[in-house]
């Protein structure tokens, strides 16, 4: 086989796909063309190429869906822990409350789950953008995580700063306690809603050609 034959042959098959389509659009007969071995082979080549692209897309979407759901679920864990502890902590005396707050030292690293979840849901919206429902559900999930950041910087972080990460008790420490506890409670609800959106986006996505 001469050098470069494979490349030329592949190019010819691709050109056939375009030319044959143009012939059909013009209403010309393609019976003779369809009967040739090269035509049959080229048709199979085109179909296999489209199938490979479809499979690659499905695998990419599936991987992003899995990561988006998993990371969103993990982001619910620390928020849910704060929410579950709120009823038992909110009425504690100052010394006991500040002692209990020390159990959260080192939890800041878990905050990395929030930007990770935001990024993965935004990426999910990109890969499913061809389908309206999965796209907007993924966008809604990403916006939920963006809202969590807003609540954290407006209420949670100022409470941490005012109390020097709950090592110093200012005169209005109870105000900061409510601010800290209820902002975490709000974010727990928001991340749960985000997880629901992410899951619904994955469930509503359909491969092209599927029922």
Asked whether the predicted pLDDT for residue 149 surpasses 80, the reply is: yes
Residue 23's pLDDT is 45
The token pair at 56 is 């690659």
- Is residue 194 within 8 Å of 79, Cβ to Cβ? no
pLDDT band at 56 (very low <50, low <70, confident <90, very high): low
Helix (H) or strand (E) holding 2: none
Measured CA to CA, the distance from residue 17 to residue 134 in angstroms comes to 32
For residues 26-32, give the mean pLDDT. 49
What is the longest distance spanned by two Cα atoms in the chain?
A: 92
> Distances from the Cα of 50 to the Cαs of 14, 36, 173, 205, in angstroms?
12, 22, 63, 19
Asked whether the predicted pLDDT for residue 92 surpasses 70, the reply is: yes
Residue 170's pLDDT is 94
> Is the pLDDT higher at 138 or at 55?
138
Asked whether the predicted pLDDT for residue 35 surpasses 50, the reply is: no
For residues 72-92, give the mean pLDDT. 94
């Amino acid at each position: 086989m001469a050098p470069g034959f494979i490349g030329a042959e592949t190019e010819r098959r691709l050109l056939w796909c375009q030319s044959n389509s143009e012939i059909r659009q013009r209403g010309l007969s393609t019976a003779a063309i369809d009967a040739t071995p090269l035509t049959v082979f080229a048709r199979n080549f085109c179909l296999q190429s489209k199938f490979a692209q479809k499979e690659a897309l499905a695998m990419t979407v599936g991987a992003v869906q899995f990561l988006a759901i998993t990371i969103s679920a993990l982001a619910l864990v620390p928020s849910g822990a704060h929410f579950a502890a709120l009823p038992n902590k909110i009425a504690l005396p100052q010394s006991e409350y500040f002692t209990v707050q020390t159990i959260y030292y080192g939890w800041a690293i878990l905050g990395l789950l929030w930007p990770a979840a935001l990024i993965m849901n935004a990426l999910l919206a990109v890969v499913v953008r061809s389908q309206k429902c999965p796209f907007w559900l993924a966008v809604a999930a990403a916006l939920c995580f963006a809202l969590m950041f807003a609540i954290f910087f407006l209420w949670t972080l100022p409470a941490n700063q005012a109390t020097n990460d709950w090592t110093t008790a200012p005169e209005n420490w109870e105000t900061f306690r409510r601010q800290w506890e209820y902002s975490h409670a709000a974010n727990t609800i928001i991340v749960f809603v985000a997880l629901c959106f992410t899951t619904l986006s994955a469930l509503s996505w359909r491969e092209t050609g599927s029922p």
